[in-house]
């Protein structure tokens, strides 16, 4: 079972040997500006290097200022364009998955879940059409206090290639409901997990066990499902915690 580590696109090439020595995959983050500047030829070269080093990858789409289910049509159009460009990059890299943010929070949408859902359906329909059959399109929980909006979205696309990434740190910060309320209804849609920790005050992206997330409960859940079908990813926010984050994730999964 490969585990994955989040690395910005610009840092991938200089870390290929390191990733290979650690036997990890890479979650390649593509930011808002890079997505406009990226050279397709360079992406093809990078894909070849990843394959030469036998390093699997996923891609993480831009998210700052974007709103897949937003009210403003122009904002949604810009969001779709950036997401579809990321999908194109994922296709070229032969990535296993493209991870995206859903863009819902109750404050910006004044609790209007249907408004968000209507715009989201339009956006994800186009994004899914752009993805190769082998590229999973995966949406992670961010600001959601409950899983209802994501349940509704996945229910609409239940026969499509749209999947769920459970993010432990975001759950710990924002969820108002217990862990089982997320995992049980969405267990058939889980294809990835971002596993990091915090103390419910800041999105620190600490190594597993350094904060207050209930990892014992998560472990019990994982023991009941097909773990080998899940992509496990750490997203350390500092170079100092990379090795420890990998070490603790491997221990957690053992």
By 3-state DSSP, what share of the chain in percent is helix, strand and coil, each rounded to 5?
Answer: 50, 15, 35
Better-predicted residue by pLDDT, 228 or 123? 123
Q: Residue 1 pLDDT more than 80?
A: no
Count helices and strands in the chain by DSSP H and E runs: 10, 8
What pLDDT was estimated at residue 53?
97
Measured between alpha carbons, how far is 248 from 144 in angstroms, rounded to an integer?
26
Q: How confident is the model at residue 239 (pLDDT cuts 50, 70, 90)?
A: confident
pLDDT in tens, 117-156: 999 999 999 999 999 999 999 999 999 999 999 999 999 9
pLDDT in tens, 167-201: 999 999 999 999 999 999 999 999 999 999 999 99
The CATH number fitting domain 3-253, selected from 3.40.50.300, 3.20.20.150, 3.40.462.10, 3.40.1390.10: 3.20.20.150
What pLDDT was estimated at residue 2?
79
Q: Residue 226 pLDDT more than 90?
A: no
pTM confidence score: 0.97
Q: Residue 238 pLDDT more than 80?
A: yes
Q: Residue 240 pLDDT more than 90?
A: no
pLDDT in tens, 89-99: 999 999 999 99
The bridge status of strand 162-167 relative to strand 97-100 is: unpaired
What is the mean predicted confidence (pLDDT) over 13-36? Answer: 97
């Amino acid at each position: 079972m490969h585990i994955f580590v989040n690395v910005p696109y610009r840092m991938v090439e200089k870390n290929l040997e390191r990733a290979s020595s650690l036997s990890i995959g890479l979650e390649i983050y593509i930011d808002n500006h890079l997505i406009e500047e990226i050279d397709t030829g360079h992406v093809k070269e990078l894909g070849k290097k990843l394959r030469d080093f036998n390093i699997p990858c996923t891609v993480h789409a831009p998210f700052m200022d974007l709103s897949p289910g937003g009210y403003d049509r122009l904002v949604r159009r810009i969001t779709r364009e950036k997401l579809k460009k990321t999908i194109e990059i994922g296709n070229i890299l032969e990535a296993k998955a493209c991870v995206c943010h859903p863009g819902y929070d109750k404050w910006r949408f004044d609790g209007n879940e249907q408004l968000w859902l209507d715009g989201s359906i339009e956006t994800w329909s186009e994004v899914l059409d752009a993805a190769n059959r082998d590229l999973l399109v995966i949406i992670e929980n961010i600001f959601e206090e409950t899983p209802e909006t994501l349940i509704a979205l996945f229910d609409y696309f239940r026969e499509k290639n749209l999947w769920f990434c459970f993010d432990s740190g975001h759950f710990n910060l924002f969820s108002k409901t217990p862990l089982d309320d997320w995992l049980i209804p969405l267990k058939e849609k889980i294809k990835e997990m971002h596993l990091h920790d915090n103390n419910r005050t800041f999105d620190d992206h600490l190594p597993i066990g350094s904060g207050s997330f209930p990892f014992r409960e998560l472990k019990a859940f994982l023991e009941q499902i097909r773990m080998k079908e899940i992509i496990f990813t750490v997203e350390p926010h500092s170079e100092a915690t990379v090795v420890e984050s990998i070490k603790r994730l491997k221990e957690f999964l053992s």
